[in-house]
């Protein structure tokens, strides 16, 4: 019997198709979604759920099974078909209806999953409804006769709607491209949904006005088996083709999207990756300027492992920075709470108030294209001002006891001159540039964060420092503390 605790994560659902995630599981989740969301959401039109899916081979059958669960509760379903996750968010906002996206994002082809939202693209995570949906669905799956009798209500209707054009027009309207020059861009869709959305938004697939862009496509064919490389740009190996293609084509920049095309990674004209923190800072400055031009004070959200550059740029532009936990469910709540104009994460998720506080990598890409086209220099020169510190990147360590390892690190650093400890999300220890740095304390500005994985016995380390040597020393010291027990185990056999 499927146990949904294995596949229901903090912010979404992901599992192996055929074992952890089956059509029966999807149907139970559809029934539970209808019961939990449609009965508890006063803002949703009565009985209507939007369903989108990415290009994975299992998507169509799982979407249909989820729809069967929804309609079996008497609710209506609107199938929007193949789309990106931010395309589903657009539909949820524009049609003011809750929705589910069938996707496993950047996971391998053997996986599928679901991202859910309430009307207006409001997030559903474990703390905001997903736990209730999980428990309701599990109760159905545990009932030996569920699904074999007559439905409890008259089945709801199923209709179809194509929302791609509305999505493209909405994004184009938010960031008009009036470039002084034509830009050449290489786009790696990774055989994911960007193969559908990039031609619609940046190209002429829908017959919209031509933009000052020349697009060189890589892997635009929709193929859920990912024949060229996994659609996971967080792994540097999956950026190599794009990094090679950009200078080969003499392009101004490259864009890489993940499988469900809600995240966008940027490569400069030299083939070098631009950090998502630098993109966050660049877009933040532009959104703040737009807000101030309208006579409003701006607030920008960033998670606690973005570069220190991000809050500095926000402050330099006379806006308010709000630091939050990692994860889209947390950030979207804070976005709405503060009416924030923009939010960014280290993982290349970018959130916009003008997009129902939801994340869309395509809109961030439009900002980068607009900023680059408004001046004559290369992208590397444009983003240099937003890359002030040396990051470690995210480093994962397998540990037997994440709590014990975390406390070992905390104990080693607490009490050192000038350090500040906080527990907003995992363990964060920081040292400011002007703080004392006596014996045992590294000098200058530095910080690190240790966070446990939601699903594996992993600790994730992110660190940053003003000086590369300090960053390396900090990184190595923390990793040595985290891994001390594992080294001892290895040494004793």
Q: Look over the chain and give the mean of its residue pLDDT values, rounded to a whole number.
A: 93
> Are both 13 and 144 inside the same structural domain?
yes
What pLDDT shows up at residue 192?
A: 98
Tell me the CATH number at 425.
Answer: 3.30.310.50
What pLDDT shows up at residue 349?
A: 95
pTM assigned to the model: 0.94
| Cα separation, 344 vs 351, whole angstroms | 6
Domain C-terminal end among 344, 366, 386? 386
Tens digits of residue pLDDT in 268-318: 999 999 999 999 999 999 999 999 999 999 999 999 999 999 999 999 999
> Are both 380 and 406 inside the same structural domain?
no
Cβ atoms of 333 and 123 closer than 8 Å:
yes
What pLDDT shows up at residue 437?
A: 82
Average pLDDT over residues 165-180: 94
> Are both 64 and 11 inside the same structural domain?
yes
> Are both 12 and 129 inside the same structural domain?
yes
Domain C-terminal end among 386, 417, 432? 386
3-state helix, strand, coil in the chain (%, to 5): 40, 20, 40
- 417-431, 454-468, 476-490: range with highest mean pLDDT: 417-431
Q: Which of 106, 386, 359, 86 is nearest to 237 (CA)?
A: 106
Range of the domain at 211: 166-175+183-271
**CA torsion through residues 352, 355, 357, 361, sign:** negative
> Are both 261 and 290 inside the same structural domain?
no
- Predicted confidence (pLDDT) at residue 487 exceeds the cutoff of 80: no
- 180-189, 328-337, 476-485: range with highest mean pLDDT: 180-189
Total domains, the chain? 4
What pLDDT shows up at residue 488?
A: 36
> Are both 380 and 402 inside the same structural domain?
no
> Are both 253 and 115 inside the same structural domain?
no
Cβ atoms of 437 and 430 closer than 8 Å:
no
Clarify whether 105 is annotated catalytic: yes
Tens digits of residue pLDDT in 90-146: 999 999 999 999 999 989 999 999 999 999 999 999 989 999 999 999 999 999 888
Tell me the CATH number at 146.
Answer: 3.40.120.10
- CA 316, chain centre distance (Å): 26
> Are both 117 and 234 inside the same structural domain?
no
Terminal CA-to-CA distance of the chain, rounded, Å?
Answer: 37
DSSP characters for 44-97? SPTTEEEEEE-S-TTHHHHHHHHHHHHHTTT-EEEEEEE--HHHHHHHHHHHT-
Out of 92, 105, 277, 347, which one is annotated catalytic? Answer: 105
| Cα separation, 182 vs 214, whole angstroms | 7
> Are both 428 and 359 inside the same structural domain?
no
> Are both 346 and 379 inside the same structural domain?
yes
| Cα separation, 240 vs 236, whole angstroms | 7
- 444 backbone dihedrals φ, ψ, rounded to 5°: 80, -170
Residue 81 — very low, low, confident or very high, per pLDDT cuts 50/70/90? very high
> Are both 144 and 37 inside the same structural domain?
yes
Residue 154 — very low, low, confident or very high, per pLDDT cuts 50/70/90? confident
> Are both 226 and 135 inside the same structural domain?
no
Domain C-terminal end among 353, 386, 419? 386
């Amino acid at each position: 019997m499927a146990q949904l605790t294995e596949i229901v994560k903090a912010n979404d659902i992901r599992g192996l198709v055929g074992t952890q995630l089956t059509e029966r599981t999807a149907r139970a989740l559809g029934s539970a979604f209808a019961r939990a969301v449609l009965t508890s959401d006063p803002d949703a039109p009565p009985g209507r759920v939007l369903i989108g899916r990415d290009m994975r081979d299992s998507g169509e059958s799982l979407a249909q099974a989820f729809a069967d669960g929804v309609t079996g509760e008497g609710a209506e379903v609107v199938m929007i078909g193949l789309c990106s996750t931010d395309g589903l968010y657009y539909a949820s906002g524009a049609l003011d209806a809750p929705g589910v996206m069938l996707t496993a994002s950047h996971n391998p082809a053997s996986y599928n999953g679901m991202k859910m939202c309430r009307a207006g693209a409001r997030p559903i995570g474990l703390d905001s409804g997903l736990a209730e949906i999980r428990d309701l669905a599990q109760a159905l799956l545990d009932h030996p006769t569920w699904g074999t009798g007559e439905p409890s209500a008259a089945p709801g209707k199923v209709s179809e709607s194509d929302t791609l054009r509305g999505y493209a027009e909405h994004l184009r309207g938010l960031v008009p491209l009036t470039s002084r020059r034509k830009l050449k861009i290489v786009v790696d869709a990774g055989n994911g949904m960007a193969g559908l959305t990039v031609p619609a938004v940046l190209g002429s697939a829908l017959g919209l006005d031509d933009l000052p862009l020349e697009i060189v496509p890589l892997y635009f064919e929709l193929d859920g088996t990912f024949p060229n490389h996994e659609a996971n740009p967080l792994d540097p190996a999956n950026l190599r083709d794009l990094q090679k293609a950009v200078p080969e084509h003499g392009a101004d920049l490259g864009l890489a999207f993940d499988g469900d095309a809600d995240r966008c990674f940027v490569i400069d004209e030299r083939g070098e990756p631009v950090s998502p923190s630098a993109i966050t800072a660049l877009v933040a400055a532009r959104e703040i300027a737009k807000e101030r031009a309208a006579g409003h004070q701006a607030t920008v959200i960033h998670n606690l492992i973005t570069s220190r550059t991000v809050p500095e740029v926000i402050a330099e532009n006379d806006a308010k920075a709000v630091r939050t936990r990692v994860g889209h469910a947390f950030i979207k709540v804070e976005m709405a709470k503060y009416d924030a104009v923009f939010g960014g994460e280290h993982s290349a998720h970018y959130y916009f108030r003008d997009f129902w506080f939801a994340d869309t990598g395509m809109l961030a890409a439009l900002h980068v294209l607009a900023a680059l086209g408004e001046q004559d220099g290369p992208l590397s020169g444009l983003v240099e001002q937003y890359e002030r510190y040396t990051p470690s990147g995210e480093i994962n360590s397998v540990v037997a006891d994440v709590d014990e390892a975390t406390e070992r690190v905390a104990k080693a650093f607490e009490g050192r001159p000038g350090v500040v400890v906080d527990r907003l999300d995992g363990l964060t220890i920081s040292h400011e540039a002007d703080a004392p740095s006596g014996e045992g304390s590294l000098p200058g500005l530095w910080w690190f964060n240790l966070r446990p994985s939601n699903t594996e016995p992993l600790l994730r380390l992110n660190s940053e420092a003003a000086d590369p040597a300090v960053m390396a020393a900090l990184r190595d010291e923390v990793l040595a503390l985290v891994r001390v027990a594992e080294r001892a185990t290895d040494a004793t056999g």
